[in-house]
């Protein structure tokens, strides 16, 4: 459990608890599993809990640390309304595994800014109020040092919210008095110092529970027993070891806009305008060595004009809104600055676009960019590079015509259940995996087009597996899997023995050979376990099938076919 609401906390759910244990505590409620929702732990979005006739629903969301971090970065940019220096915490505490916990706090430098907002307390209340308007619950503290502010907001009055629950209601911001040093922090627990969890456990065994008790211990002994980390955290909280806020600056925007002097619905005129805008954005990116991965275009239209007056003048129709914005989005497989290719993809979307009125403003923006792949020019054409380029163009065109969610690629997942062992993600619009994907595609194309050295003939490679009974992934898992296992009838020698005959779609087949069983079970943390015995069978018709017996009830199913 990475975060929980107050309703779940009332049932005993706590952050860090295994999911199976948390589910058992909420077993009287109906589960509702949804898509991942981005929420920064330091300002979690409120969860909704609806009463249903059968009881209260509880909502499960897979934790997406990358989405949390991106949301926190977006909030940091918006918080520049309150302070010119806003950043994410750069030195988070270590977790139980010795790894840094993901950033969950925003740090604002409010030095000499309080009088502009009616005081530091008023400034903190305005910040938390702004978060509340955005749909978040935030806790704030003002202190002389980053360490003291972190301690107060996490472990001060109602400060354990970030570890116990993500929805504990409102609380007034804490403003620690300036110049009082350690006094406001003495009664806080050790976790307020951002020290590693194993160190906290060891100190508690020694009878040290609070910061005041820790400060009474001789410093040389702390260094010899716990290293430099513990004294450093003490110095950071007290101000003896200064910390700085690394301000986050928003990334540059690559956008171009055209306000039409005479609004128009002519497609050729709009094509000319968009071409000019795309070329501007492409030139700007090319000068930085970057390319477009995701391009968006907006067309702002006014009310359509219809002839309604007797003297032939045109007046605006009131049947439609005065202004509408039409949005087009292009996702690419690889970054590019080729304006012709980008316009080709935009035209595909414009073909299906219905203009509600004349276009007044056109805007183009590169929303996602990535570094261009720089390559040395060659004297002779490289077929592998051309194959990779053609593949990219094909994927881009299909995505533009069919939609981004229609052109997918599989990704492996570490799951024992075959139908859950992979999932699909769009091929276009993702800048995070571009470098590795480009290398893989290039290597695959080079391998496919590699020829034998001149003067030599290439002989076919020997088969990787000569015996089909060898336990190898190439033969133990079929290429084609059924999306949902198909129910079949099987006759076995014994209740738990191998199959002898099977009936698929009304066609009886005799099993000539079989390999197995292979026991596959899902993890206990997923709830009700799935237990299966898998067999690879060869029938008298020459087919090779992958079937399994469900151990709970003895039913048989067809999982896949070997080519």
d(CA 337, CA 279): 8
Instruction: Report which of 190, 100, 196 is spatially closest to residue 154, judged by C-alpha positions.
Output: 190
Does this model's pTM top 0.85? My answer is: no
For the CA atoms of the chain, what is the radius of gyration? 31
Distance CA 563, CA 475 (A): 10
Write out the two tokens for 218: 């001789």
- Tell me the C-alpha distance between 135 and 412, whole Å: 35
What's the rounded Cα separation, in Å, for the pair 522 and 416? 6
Residue 449 near residue 387, CB atoms below 8 Å: yes
In the prediction, which pLDDT does 257 show?
Answer: 94
Q: Considering only CA atoms, which of 43, 127, 115, 139 is closest in space to residue 82? A: 127
Specify the CATH class of 254-304+321-375 in words: alpha beta
- Say whether pLDDT at 322 is over 90: no
Contacts of 31 (CB under 8 A, 6+ apart): 23, 57, 58, 60
Q: Cβ atoms within 10 A of the Cβ of 326, count?
A: 17
Closest CA relative to residue 344, chosen from 392, 405, 289 = 392
DSSP character at residue 112: T
* pLDDT at residue 440, rounded to an integer: 42
Q: What's the pLDDT score for residue 364? A: 95
| Tens-place pLDDT, residues 494-518 | 777 888 999 888 889 999 999 989 9
Task: Give the 3-state secondary structure of residue 473.
Answer: helix
> Interior CA angle at 535 toward 533 and 540, to 5°?
150
Q: What is the mean pLDDT of residues 426-430?
A: 81
Q: Write the pLDDT tens digit of every residue in 118-172.
A: 999 899 999 989 998 888 888 888 988 888 898 888 887 654 444 444 444 556 7
Instruction: Judge contact between 368 and 434, C-beta under 8 A.
Output: no
Q: What is the DSSP string of 187-255?
A: TSBGGGG---HHHHHHHHHTT--BHHHHHTS-HHHHHHHH-SHHHHHHHHHHTSS-----PPPPPPPEE
pLDDT in tens, 449-475: 333 333 333 333 333 233 333 344 445
User: Are 388 and 494 contacting, i.e. CB atoms less than 8 angstroms apart?
Assistant: no
Would you tell me the crossing angle of helices 219-226 and 229-238 to the nearest 10 degrees? 130
Q: Which tokens belong to 442?
A: 């290039």
Q: What DSSP designation does 114 have?
A: G
Is 50's pLDDT higher than 50?
Answer: no
Helix and strand totals (H; E) in the chain: 15, 23
Residue 558 has pLDDT above 70, yes or no: yes
Q: What pLDDT, on the 0 to 100 scale, is given for residue 171?
A: 66
Closest CA to 173 of 187, 192, 153, 193: 153
CB distance 541 to 509 below 8 Å: yes
Residues 6 or more apart whose CB falls under 8 angstroms from that of 482 comprise 419, 558, 559, 560
CB of 306 within 8 A of CB of 357?
Answer: no
User: In the chain, what are the domain boundaries?
Assistant: 83-238, 254-304+321-375, 404-449, 473-561
164: which residues sit within 8 A by CB, 6+ positions away? 9, 14, 15
What DSSP line would sit under 355-414, residue for residue? -SS-EEEEEEEEEEEEE-------SS--HHHHHHHHHHHHHHHHHHHH-GGGSEEEEE--
| 43-45 and 314-316 strand pairing | unpaired
Is-contact 254 281, C-beta < 8 A?
yes
Q: How far apart are CA 50 and CA 239, in angstroms?
A: 47
Mean pLDDT (the chain) is: 78
Which phi and psi (to 5°) does residue 27 adopt?
A: -65, -20
At 73-120, the pLDDT tens digits run 889 888 888 998 998 888 777 765 556 677 888 999 998 888 889 999
CA atoms within 13 A on the CB side of 557: 21
Query: Using one digit for the tens of pLDDT, what is the confidence trace for 177-227?
Result: 887 777 788 888 888 888 888 888 888 988 989 888 888 888 888 887 888
* Cβ pair 535, 476 in contact under 8 A: no
User: What is the pLDDT, as a whole number, of residue 266?
Assistant: 92
Residue 411 structure tokens: 């990704």
Distance, in Å, from the CA atom of 250 to the CA atom of 76, rounded to the nearest integer, reads 9
Token pair 């309703």 in the structure block, residue: 7
CA–CA gap between residue 8 and residue 525 (Å, rounded): 18
What is the token pair recorded at 445? 């194309």
Closest CA to 60 of 83, 91, 29, 90: 29
**Interior/surface letters 442-462, b for 16+ CB within 10 angstroms, e for the rest:** beebeeeeeeeeeeeeeeeee
Q: Is the pLDDT of residue 67 over 50?
A: yes
What is the total residue count of the chain?
A: 563
pLDDT in tens, 162-172: 444 444 455 67
C-alpha 385/C-alpha 406 separation (Å) is 26
CB of 123 closer than 8 Å to CB of 113: yes
**Phi, psi torsion values for 14, nearest 5 degrees:** -135, 150
| Helix (H) / strand (E) containing 32 | strand 30-33
Contact 408, 427 (CB under 8 A): yes
């Amino acid at each position: 459990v990475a975060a929980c609401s107050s309703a779940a906390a009332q049932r005993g759910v706590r952050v860090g608890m295994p999911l199976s244990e948390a589910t058992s505590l909420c077993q009287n409620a109906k589960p509702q599993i949804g898509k991942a929702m981005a929420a920064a732990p330091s300002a979690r979005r409120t969860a909704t809990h609806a009463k249903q006739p059968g009881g209260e629903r509880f909502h499960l969301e897979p934790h997406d640390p990358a989405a949390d971090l991106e949301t926190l970065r977006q909030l940091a940019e918006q918080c520049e309304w309150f302070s010119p220096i806003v950043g994410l915490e750069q030195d988070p505490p270590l977790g139980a595994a010795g790894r840094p916990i993901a950033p969950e706090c925003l740090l604002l430098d409010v030095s000499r800014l309080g009088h502009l907002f009616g005081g530091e307390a008023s400034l903190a209340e305005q910040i938390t109020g702004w978060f509340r308007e955005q749909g978040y619950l935030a806790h704030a503290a003002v202190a002389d040092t980053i360490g003291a502010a972190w301690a107060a907001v996490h472990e001060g009055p109602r400060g354990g919210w970030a570890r116990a629950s993500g929805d504990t209601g409102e609380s007034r911001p804490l403003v620690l008095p300036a110049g009082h040093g350690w006094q406001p922090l003495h009664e806080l627990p050790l976790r307020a110092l951002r020290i590693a969890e194993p160190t906290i456990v060891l100190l508690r065994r020694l009878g040290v529970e609070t910061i005041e008790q820790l400060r009474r211990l001789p410093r040389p002994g702390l260094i010899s027993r716990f290293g430099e980390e513990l004294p450093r955290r003490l110095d950071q909280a007290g101000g003896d070891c200064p910390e700085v806020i690394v301000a986050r600056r928003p990334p540059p925007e690559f956008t171009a806009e055209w306000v039409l002097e005479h609004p128009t619905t002519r497609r050729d005129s709009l094509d000319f305008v968009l071409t000019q805008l795309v070329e501007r954005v492409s030139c700007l990116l090319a000068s930085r060595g970057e390319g477009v991965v995701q391009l968006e275009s907006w067309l702002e239209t006014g009310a359509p004009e219809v002839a309604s007056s007797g003297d032939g003048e045109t007046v605006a129709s009131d049947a439609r809104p005065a202004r509408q914005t039409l949005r087009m989005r292009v996702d690419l497989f690889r970054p590019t600055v080729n304006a012709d290719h980008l316009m080709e993809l935009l035209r595909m979307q414009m073909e299906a676009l219905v203009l509600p009125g004349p276009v007044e403003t056109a805007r183009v923006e590169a929303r996602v960019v990535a570094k261009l792949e720089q390559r040395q020019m060659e004297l002779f054409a490289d077929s592998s590079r051309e194959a990779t380029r053609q593949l990219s163009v094909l994927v881009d065109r299909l995505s533009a015509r069919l939609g981004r969610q229609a052109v997918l690629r599989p990704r492996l997942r570490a799951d024992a259940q075959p139908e859950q062992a992979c999932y699909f993600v769009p091929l276009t619009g993702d800048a995070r995996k571009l470098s590795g994907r480009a290398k893989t595609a290039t290597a695959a194309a080079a391998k496919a087009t590699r020829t034998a050295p001149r003067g030599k003939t290439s002989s076919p490679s020997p088969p990787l597996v000569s015996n089909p009974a060898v336990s190898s992934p190439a033969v133990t898992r079929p290429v084609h899997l059924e999306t949902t296992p198909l129910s079949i009838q099987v006759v076995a020698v014994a209740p738990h023995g191998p199959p002898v005959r099977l009936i698929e779609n009304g066609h009886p087949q005799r099993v000539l050979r079989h390999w197995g069983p292979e026991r596959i079970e899902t993890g206990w943390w997923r709830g009700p376990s799935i237990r299966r015995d898998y067999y690879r069978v060869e029938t008298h018709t020459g087919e090779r099938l992958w079937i399994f017996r469900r151990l709970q009830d003895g039913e048989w199913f067809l999982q896949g076919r070997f080519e």
